[in-house]
């Protein structure tokens, strides 16, 4: 049940694109399609942004996209906006436990 590996922080200017990586193993991220991403503003409930590696829930802007290659999943945010500044977590479900990434703080410069 080791945490997935995410960069501690990323940053970008409004309008730019950023990508957050999430690295696991063949036993979690690499082996299953149950990869999801959450946005978390301090003091609020986390919000689902991506599920099933690349599916976007209704209401989530299409600026948010997900992908996976091997044992690494990625969240890309294009056209950065000030309100995107938050913590982002990836999540994988290998079947008998759930594992999160350590979280990435996105700063919009």
Partner 1 sequence: EVQLLESGGGLVQPGGSLRLSCAASGFTFGSYAVNWVRQAPGKGLEWVSAISGGSGDTTLYADSVKGRFTISRDNSKNTLYLQMNSLRAEDTAVYYCARWIEYYDYWGQGTLVTVSS
Which residues contact partner 1 (rule: CB under 8 A)? 1, 3, 34, 36, 38, 40, 44-48, 51-52, 57, 87, 89, 91, 93, 96-103
What residues contact residue 19 under an 8 Å CB cut-off, 6+ apart? Answer: 10, 74, 75, 76, 77
In the complex with partner 1, the residue whose CB is nearer, 63 or 105, is: 105
Which of residues 46 and 72 has its CB atom nearest to partner 1 in the complex?
46
Query: Considering the complex, what minimum distance in angstroms separates the CB of residue 100 from partner 1?
Result: 5
- Reported as half-sphere exposure (CB side, CA atoms, 13 A), residue 14 has a value of 3
Closest distance to partner 1 from the beta carbon of 54 (Å): 12
Closest contact distance (angstroms) between CB of 7 and partner 1 is 12
The rounded Cα 38 to chain-centroid distance in angstroms is 6
Q: Is 30 helix (H, G, I), strand (E, B) or coil?
A: helix
């Amino acid at each position: 049940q080791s945490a997935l590996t995410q960069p501690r922080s990323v940053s970008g200017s409004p309008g730019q694109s950023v990508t957050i990586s999430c690295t696991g193993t063949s036993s979690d991220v690499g082996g299953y399609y149950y990869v999801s991403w959450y946005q978390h503003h301090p003091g609020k409930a986390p919000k689902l942004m991506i599920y099933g590696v690349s599916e976007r829930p209704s209401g989530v802007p299409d600026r948010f996209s997900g992908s996976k290659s091997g044992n690494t999943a990625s969240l890309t945010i294009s056209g950065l906006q000030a309100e995107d500044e938050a913590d982002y977590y990836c999540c994988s479900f290998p079947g008998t436990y759930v594992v999160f990434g350590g979280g990435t703080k996105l700063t919009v410069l």
